[in-house]
Structure 1
């Protein structure tokens, strides 16, 4: 029996590609294991899958800034390497697929020490710190943007495009409206601050809510612990996070306001949803979302509102402008050539497994 192991976590963006791939290998009869953190979002998302064994390990966050946790976390990473090494030695996967995030580094090292081939997926134009550390130990790096190869300067890159979860292709707008108790008589605005939420976006949206809901029915995915139970508005629905109903919510949405994580924006592109992107600032990240947003803006797929310019007024103005010009964005997205990234990655994994 062929065996595959997955890793990746810390945010939903470091799990979604894995969630797209796992059903194929389960259906093909492969043994599927997943190594993630002991209490991260990846455990929540993966544990609900049948026929997938989940193993939690010790993890330490990889930070670019000073924090006293930086003293402790290297020891957690070393512990995680030993834990991952032991799991991989026992489970003997034919191949490891890593989506990145800080939890992936110990697992990639554990696989390399066990001589298990590693395939890495990089969603953004420039690789994150975890993937930068892991790349020397990988056999292949799959990229979403063609320009990523010039940042890596290695012959191991393979441009595959964006991997889209199969379930997102089958959303039902009527089911989405029923879930949210919305009508067909008013357009729907979906607001997403990423799986961990965004306090700045949440606060601005809620200050602008009365005016926003004059035009839109609003679905707000605000992140864990960021619900506001004091709000009473028939045209507003807020959720910490949505998984099962997300395809239906996306299908019913007319326009979207979102962070600029690569996985999400390519899913919006596939579904031809006009988007206003509010990328994480360079102070909050390495600037990857800014590059993602600029790339999409140059192609005519989105509007961009930088967080330093985010106010109640700019949010309202750009949301109205996005909706007014939505058909222009839809036409641009319709002209985009979609690659079959899912099958391209599956073939690379199968080739690596056979060669092992």
Structure 2
């Protein structure tokens, strides 16, 4: 029986791709284990799907001054020895790391124990955790053609991001039924992230009358961002957050407005959904979403609207433009080389695991 250790944590984007790999890994005969932080959000997500979870000490490595910069390196060192002990016990054939600071000690410990490591980098340019881990990796998977040029020769593999299989099982008619919508108007799905986006929410709501003339709107507005004055408005349905229903909302959506996080845009690509991307600005991020969005725009998958340019008018024009040209976007996405990321990544794991067994 083959063994694999998955690792990743800190945000859902570092955990859900790991979760997406689990069914295929089980089919391939792997025993699966997970290493994350003691009480990170990844712990419950992983335990809920029945995967054995091990916690280690974790510290954040910052580029800016913080008093925790003096204590966190010791947490990372402690995490390294804990990870090494766990890996010696489990003796996995391969480690797959999705990123986040908890992964750094795991990857370095695996390298010392001669366990092959696959890293996945979601964004155009590697984040700090993955930059520290790449020298210890056997292969580095990525989502963008531009990223391949930034990685060590021979290590980079263009795969795309693992997408949850359940997203492909949505039913359009169920999405319409859940919202009380009809088939007479196209559906606009707006996703502002778990915390929502003030700019996106305001642009949608300030232009609600014009949008509702042509579209029905499913608005995922984020925690504590519901607008009570719009409750019951015909053709408009708002939610703070959805889980199981999301697959049905994707299925019935004709156009999607979204942030440009790597996992989110890879889902849009896999589902072939015409989209408007509104990346987080430099004041709120390191600029990775801006680069992600530019790449998708250059490949013909997306229409990009920078957050500083978002108004009710520019957003309405963008939605109308993408809806009118939707076939062009769908056609471009059909020609994407980022097909079957789960199969590609699991095949890589099989290759590395078989090499280790031959040693």
- Please say whether Structure 1 and Structure 2 have the same fold, judged by a TM-score greater than 0.5: yes
RMSD over equivalenced CA pairs, Å: 2.5
Aligned to 1:339: 339
Q: Distance in 2 between matches of 1:274 and 1:195?
A: 21
Q: What is the CA distance between 1:224 and its match in structure 2?
A: 4.3
With the length of structure 1 as denominator, give the TM-score of the two structures: 0.89
Aligned to 2:79: 80
Q: What is the CA distance between 1:133 and its match in structure 2?
A: 0.8
With the length of structure 2 as denominator, give the TM-score of the two structures: 0.88
Q: Distance in 2 between matches of 1:237 and 1:55?
A: 40
Aligned to 1:212: 211
Matched, 1:169 2:168: yes
Matched, 1:43 2:55: no
Aligned to 1:111: 110
Q: Distance in 2 between matches of 1:224 and 1:204?
A: 17
Q: Deviations over 1:127-149 (max 9, x none)?
A: 11111111011111122223212
Q: Distance in 1 between matches of 2:47 and 2:228?
A: 29
Q: What is the CA distance between 1:113 and its match in structure 2?
A: 3.7
When residues 322 and 118 of structure 1 are mapped into structure 2, their CA distance, relative to the original with a 3 A threshold, is same
Given that 1:118 and 1:139 are in contact with CA atoms closer than 8 Å, whether structure 2 keeps it comes out as yes
Partner secondary structure for residue 48 of structure 2: coil
Q: Distance in 1 between matches of 2:225 and 2:52?
A: 31
Q: What is the CA distance between 1:58 and its match in structure 2?
A: 3.3
Partner secondary structure for residue 104 of structure 2: helix
1:171-320 correspondence runs (5 A): 171-228=170-227, 231-232=230-231, 233-320=233-320
Q: Where does the alignment leave 5 or more consecutive residues of structure 1 unmatched? A: none
Runs of 4+ in 1 over 6 A off after TM superposition: none
Q: What is the CA distance between 1:172 and its match in structure 2?
A: 1.1
When residues 102 and 21 of structure 1 are mapped into structure 2, their CA distance, relative to the original with a 3 A threshold, is same
Given that 2:38 and 2:56 are in contact with CA atoms closer than 8 Å, whether structure 1 keeps it comes out as yes
Partner secondary structure for residue 179 of structure 1: helix
Aligned to 1:135: 134
Aligned to 1:64: 63
Q: Where does the alignment leave 5 or more consecutive residues of structure 2 unmatched? A: none
Q: What is the CA distance between 1:189 and its match in structure 2?
A: 1.2
Deviates more, 1:64-73 or 1:2-11: 64-73
Partner secondary structure for residue 152 of structure 1: coil
Q: What is the CA distance between 1:229 and its match in structure 2?
A: 5.2
Give the aligned length: 355
When residues 85 and 319 of structure 1 are mapped into structure 2, their CA distance, relative to the original with a 3 A threshold, is same
